[in-house]
Structure 1
Amino acid sequence: MNIESLWKDRVQTFWNQAVRYLRLIGNSGFMFSLYALFLAGGYFYPSFMEWLPSSVPVSLLFTLLFAYLLTRCPLRTFLKEGDLVFLLPLESRLKSYFTKSVIYSYVFQSAAVVIVFLLLGPLFRDRVVDDNMYMYTSLFLLLLINGWNYASFWAETRFQEEMTRFKHTAGRAVLNAAAAYLLFQGAPLWFPAAVVLVCAFVYIFYYYPLLRRHLLKWEVLLQQEEKRVSAFYRFVRSFTDVGHVKTRVKRRRWLNAPLDRWVWNKGSVFMVLFGKSFMRSGEYLGMYVRLILAAGLVMYAFPNDWFRMAAAFLFLYMTSVQLRALWHHLDVTIWPDLYPVAHVYKQNDFKALVKTLLAAQTILLTLVYLLTSGSLLPGVVLIGAGLALCFLYPLSKKDRAMIQNGREA
């Protein structure tokens, strides 16, 4: 095994596969919805800044957003399960491998920080400081802090206990929020620079010694890698089959009782399975809530009533596309196929669940529209178009072919 080329080979293998999936997504109607949303957002950006009330705490919102982006530190190591056996004896020779992984992750996260910062740049100049030098110096300091976060996070992965890692993450979040708050309050740059120096001292005298005192926790690194790969492929799975991805399960006790009262009374195996999968898989519920919140924010930002209606419908369509992945969620286990239940019930229960979710989202977005607008007609069109999408929700040709094969069997 060539240790020097191992990292490069794994990165190339991942991107060779990822590019094929991205091409499929690029040719889909989902991307057209995103393009339309971005074009509309760019068109209304100046009007949005003029409309945004001065009482809105823009600096605080910037602080919360960038504190989150800086703290989260998604890490890609491209490890596999077999590495816990075959690479573990070579840990002393893998320093360059993991260094490249941390740098790779830092570059991608820094790109996300730069994109978000530049998108918010006009708002920054309008509400924080109207000075290009200050703005780009702030971006530079954010990238420095991002580098400190990754160096510190790499040391935190040496802890096996999840609660210990959480406490360290909370500590980093406080420092990130302090630096971001000073930047977005328009404070003299030496104030946030002082926070950066504090971060440097924390790393030198606390985090760096951890690298010497603790060994690598391969299980933690593998967990981080599986989390990042799953985040990418569960998005891809909305457009095509990706059967090899592991999914995380969350108990969510607080949702169990209301969910059980609804799905168990349906008297259907697949309604129970799909309902439990939606609530507990760690993928669909979060996506569903995030799209509702994002739709509400976009509708609040758009000054035109008809564009609010169009944005709401675009988010409904994106939700319907994302929920298609739920259809294949049960394909990775053999047990549902062993139940003495006709396969056609899978289609009926799946569509019933998705229609319910889309109808609930339609009602919520209609309420948001009515709260942010004084015109009734676009709201009527929105709820009519949304409910039409719910009841005409289609499965793909491939899914219908699978159902037909199930009937013939």
Structure 2
Amino acid sequence: MDVNTLWKERASSFRNEAFRYLRLIGNSGFMFSLYALFLAGGYFYPSFIAWLPESFPVAFAFTIVFAYLLTRTPLRTFLKEGDVVFLLPLETKMHPFFQRSLIYSICVQFAAVAFLFLILGPLFQDRITDETSYFFLVFLFLFLSKWWNNAAKWVELRLQDQRERRFSTVGRFVINVIYLYFLFVAVSLPFTIVILIIKFVLYVLYYRRLLAHHPLKWTLLLEEESDRTARFYRFVQSFTDVPYMKAKVKRRRMLSALSDFFVWKRKNIYDVMFWKAFLRSGEYLGIYVRLLFVGSLVMYAFPSEWVRLAVALLFLYMTSVQLKTIRFHYDVLLWPDLYPVSPMDKKKAFVPFMQVLLLMQTCLFTVVYFIVGESLRLLFLLFILGLLFSWMYPSFRWQYGKEKMREV
């Protein structure tokens, strides 16, 4: 078996499937919201830089954000469950396969880092340094550090003890913070080069020794690959149906106990199921919190009162688009059909469920606007428009979804 050909086939298969889903996402209303947000951001970016107080620690913020991005190293190996049986005998010949996977992971992850750094480029040149040569040198140092972090992560996956892996990850984060401190805060190339040399010496003296004394942990590699694939499909699930999507459940005892206190008093079993899905399954709760946080941050960043109003409504719409798939969360399972309830009970539960979530976000965005905004008239307008949207959109979404299903 040619392992190089095997890697190309699996990478090509995933790429073709991902492009098909991304085309569907590109035609969705969610992408229109992102386009509108990028256009508004590009228009108000210079105003935002001028408005940002001089006392704001821009360099320190750069350090923390990019330290997180450098430390976070999700590796893609394109392994499948059957490989533990069929490829394990070829482990000694799998080096080119894993080497290609490592290079692929580095390129994809650094593309995200480079994209964010380009977006923040004007802020970097305005608050840190306006030297163009230093700007491009930062690109080089970020790339070298990303390569080092991925190589270290590959070694960490050979450690069986989870505590050792976490300790190593925390150590990498601390080293990255020190490294980026000299790169962004001190703007000192000599010290940055010294830290970079120390990182590579640490790899030779510590990580390579672990690499030689610990064999591959195929189960960890499969868990890592399964998690990366599941995250992609959970993102796609927000826009279209993914039939082979695997459900992932997190216990979240406190939130589940709080929900049980309220939802079990309802007569409709779907009330319980939808709230359990939101709190415990997939990424629904994470999507809800992230959109709320990012929307609040954008509202704080834009100086225009009308833009803050538009951003709040835009993120409210984005939340509704992302959470609409909870309606189909249990459709691929058999056991909900065993409940003695009618299909209308599902609508009676889904519409109020979505209304409550959107109303909660409307109230939170109103509080954020009250803190960062200045116009009481727009404050009340935001609350009224958000209230109307929260009340009307779930019913419209349900009816629209039924019509689309009839067309199919």
**Residue 252 of structure 1, CA deviation:** 1.3
In structure 1, list runs of 5 or more residues that go unmatched.
Answer: 405-409
Structure 2 match to 1:400: 402
**Residue 401 of structure 1, CA deviation:** 5.8
**Residue 280 of structure 1, CA deviation:** 1.1
- Aligned Cα root-mean-square deviation (Å): 1.7
**Paired residues, what number?**
405
The within-5 A match list for 1:79-98 is: 79-98=79-98
The within-5 A match list for 1:146-157 is: 146-157=146-157
Structure 1 match to 2:128: 128
**Residue 403 of structure 1, CA deviation:** 8.8
The within-5 A match list for 1:81-120 is: 81-120=81-120
1:158 partnered with 2:158: yes
1:361 partnered with 2:361: yes
1:191-237 CA-to-partner distances (Å, cap 9, x unmatched) read: 11111111101111111122221111111111111111111111111
Q: Is the 8 A contact 2:234 2:282 kept in 1?
A: no
Structure 1 match to 2:19: 19
Structure 2 match to 1:275: 275
Q: Is the 8 A contact 1:355 1:391 kept in 2?
A: yes
Q: Is the 8 A contact 2:128 2:185 kept in 1?
A: yes
Q: Is the 8 A contact 1:128 1:185 kept in 2?
A: yes
**Residue 132 of structure 1, CA deviation:** 1.2
1:153-179 CA-to-partner distances (Å, cap 9, x unmatched) read: 000010123222111110100011111
The within-5 A match list for 1:162-201 is: 162-201=162-201
Rate the CA distance shift 1:13–1:400 in 2: closer, same or farther, 3 A: same
Q: Is the 8 A contact 1:344 1:403 kept in 2?
A: no
1:144 partnered with 2:163: no
1:280-308 CA-to-partner distances (Å, cap 9, x unmatched) read: 12411111111100001100000100101
**Aligned counterparts of 1:341 and 1:304: Cα–Cα separation in 2:** 50
**Residue 396 of structure 1, CA deviation:** 6.0
1:242-277 CA-to-partner distances (Å, cap 9, x unmatched) read: 021223221112222211112212232111111111
Structure 2 match to 1:388: 388
Rate the CA distance shift 1:347–1:89 in 2: closer, same or farther, 3 A: farther
The within-5 A match list for 1:228-267 is: 228-267=228-267
**Aligned counterparts of 1:130 and 1:275: Cα–Cα separation in 2:** 50
Q: Is the 8 A contact 1:226 1:246 kept in 2?
A: no
Structure 1 match to 2:10: 10
**Residue 57 of structure 1, CA deviation:** 1.4
Q: Is the 8 A contact 2:351 2:398 kept in 1?
A: no
**Residue 186 of structure 1, CA deviation:** 3.5
Normalising by the residue count of structure 2, what TM-score does the alignment of the two structures yield? 0.95
1:375-409 CA-to-partner distances (Å, cap 9, x unmatched) read: 122222222222222112233678426999xxxxx
**Aligned counterparts of 2:96 and 2:399: Cα–Cα separation in 1:** 47
**Moved >6 Å (runs of 4+):** none
**Aligned counterparts of 2:266 and 2:55: Cα–Cα separation in 1:** 48
**Residue 25 of structure 1, CA deviation:** 1.0
Identity of aligned residues (%): 50
**Aligned counterparts of 2:356 and 2:399: Cα–Cα separation in 1:** 22
Q: Is the 8 A contact 1:129 1:186 kept in 2?
A: no
In structure 2, list runs of 5 or more residues that go unmatched.
Answer: none
Structure 1 match to 2:220: 220
